[in-house]
Structure 1
Amino acid sequence: MAADLVLGGVVLVGSSVQRLAGIGFALVSAPALVLLLGAGQGVLLANVAAGTISAVGLVGSWRQVRLAAMLPLVAAAACTVPLGAWVAARLPEPELLAGTGALVTVAVLLVMRGARLPALRGAGGALAAGAASGFMNSSAGVGGPAVSLYAANAGWTAREFVPSAQFYGLLVNVFSISAKGLPRLPGQAWLLVAAAIAVGAAAGAVLAGRVSDVRARRIVLLLALGGGLVTLVKGLWLL
């Protein structure tokens, strides 16, 4: 029972963060889900929950999606999701834990530094970001940072980014689930996860009107950095 409550709390926090900032569920929650459920099942649940909360966020903002800009990212991600799923299925648990933690940590540090990479500009940059994101999403559950870096290099504002990120998050997580299947959880855990997503989405919507974009971004990145480091350390300890 205690483990289920912790699981619900992790999903609730991640859902609130994603509804608030457009991305962040996987960054904040994937490391904790991996530690709770194991690398394979934790990443799968991160895919399911992140896709669901993205769909919820799109209900009121789908008209603001920059569809033409997102299509190259979605197409590139569709090509690399199967490769990420293949890698995740074959890596031993310690290596997958360490890899997930390392990907989250490096991605967060790049976003925190506001990395400006010429390779992430234009159509080529969209394809590169989408390819990296698709692989990371299906292998480690963290596809958002590559898209965030692309948006930063393209000069998007937070208002432009959030609905487009939710559109992308819905599709790339559907791709990932299609490649790997659903996580194996008991019925009680699924009900708890569903309730946590609903409450988290409502809380994030309320907070969105009270927390500045800068502060929301800082909260997401600090939580993600801590989770990534903990997961990396555990993976290295088990090697």
Structure 2
Amino acid sequence: MTGEAALLLGGLVVMLGACVQWLTGMGFALVAVPALVLLLGPHQGVALANCAAGAISAVGLVSGWRRVRLTAMVPLVIASVCAVPAGSWAAGQLSQPVLLVGMGLLVTLAVLLVMQGLRVPGLVGARGAVAAGAAGGFMNASAGLGGPPLSLYAMNAGWSAHEFVPNAQFYL
């Protein structure tokens, strides 16, 4: 693939991921990271995805700021920040195939739990926010996929989609 074709493909993937995140509050990484990792490599692909997701979330948060649940989001964000060094360390220590398969399994498990509507008693209240935040921070730093634990937390907290979008944008 030529450099121009790769740049065009990368731009299209970023635009598609931005549309998904703008509509749902998350999902940029699920759409963009696989292609960006293949195009740029794991470290640059994840770094670009995290930067782009942050910018998209900041822009989206401007209109939804009033719907952010700060009492739930503060423990989520603090736990996430505390887990980032461990995720970064894991990304540097594990081989790319092991890391990608491990993250793929975690994302698949989270999606299956959400699809089944399974309630996890440990994912409610402040303790649940800390657990989801730590898992999300670890996954975000290691593979750019911090949204699935937040989705599980929101489902267990009974958030509607209308409530989820600005809170996901705040978190991400």
Q: Shorter-chain TM-score: which interval?
A: over 0.9
Return the TM-score normalized by structure 2: 0.93
- In structure 1, what is the equivalent of residue 160 of structure 2? 157
Helix, strand or coil: the match of 1:59? Answer: helix
CA distance in structure 2 between the aligned counterparts of 1:136 and 1:127, rounded to whole angstroms: 14
Higher relative contact order (CA 8 A, sep 6+): 1
- In structure 1, what is the equivalent of residue 25 of structure 2? 22
Equivalent of 1:148 in 136, 139, 151: 151
Residue-pair matches, total: 169
- In structure 1, what is the equivalent of residue 135 of structure 2? 132
Instruction: Please identify, of 107-116 and 12-21, the stretch whose mean Cα deviation from structure 2 is larger.
Output: 107-116
C-alpha change, 1:112 and 1:156, in structure 2 (3 Å) is: same
Identity %: 66
Deviation of the 1:45 alpha carbon:
1.2
CA distance in structure 1 between the aligned counterparts of 2:42 and 2:141, rounded to whole angstroms: 12
Partner deviation per Cα, 1:4-34 (whole Å, 9 max, x = no partner): 1110011000000000011110112112222
Equivalent of 1:122 in 122, 125, 133: 125
Deviation of the 1:57 alpha carbon:
0.3
Partner deviation per Cα, 1:83-124 (whole Å, 9 max, x = no partner): 101110122222223233333333322222223111101111
- In structure 2, what is the equivalent of residue 237 of structure 1? none
Helix, strand or coil: the match of 1:159? Answer: helix
Equivalent of 1:37 in 37, 40, 53: 40
CA distance in structure 1 between the aligned counterparts of 2:90 and 2:33, rounded to whole angstroms: 17
- In structure 2, what is the equivalent of residue 217 of structure 1? none
Partner deviation per Cα, 1:58-84 (whole Å, 9 max, x = no partner): 111112211111111011111101110
The correspondence of residues 92-107 of structure 1 with structure 2, limited to 5 A, is 92-107=95-110
Structure 2: give runs of 5+ residues left out of the alignment: none
Helix, strand or coil: the match of 2:118? Answer: coil
- In structure 2, what is the equivalent of residue 2 of structure 1? 5
CA distance in structure 2 between the aligned counterparts of 1:45 and 1:22, rounded to whole angstroms: 18
Instruction: Please identify, of 86-95 and 98-107, the stretch whose mean Cα deviation from structure 2 is larger.
Output: 98-107
- In structure 2, what is the equivalent of residue 224 of structure 1? none
Q: Is the 8 A contact 1:120 1:149 kept in 2?
A: yes
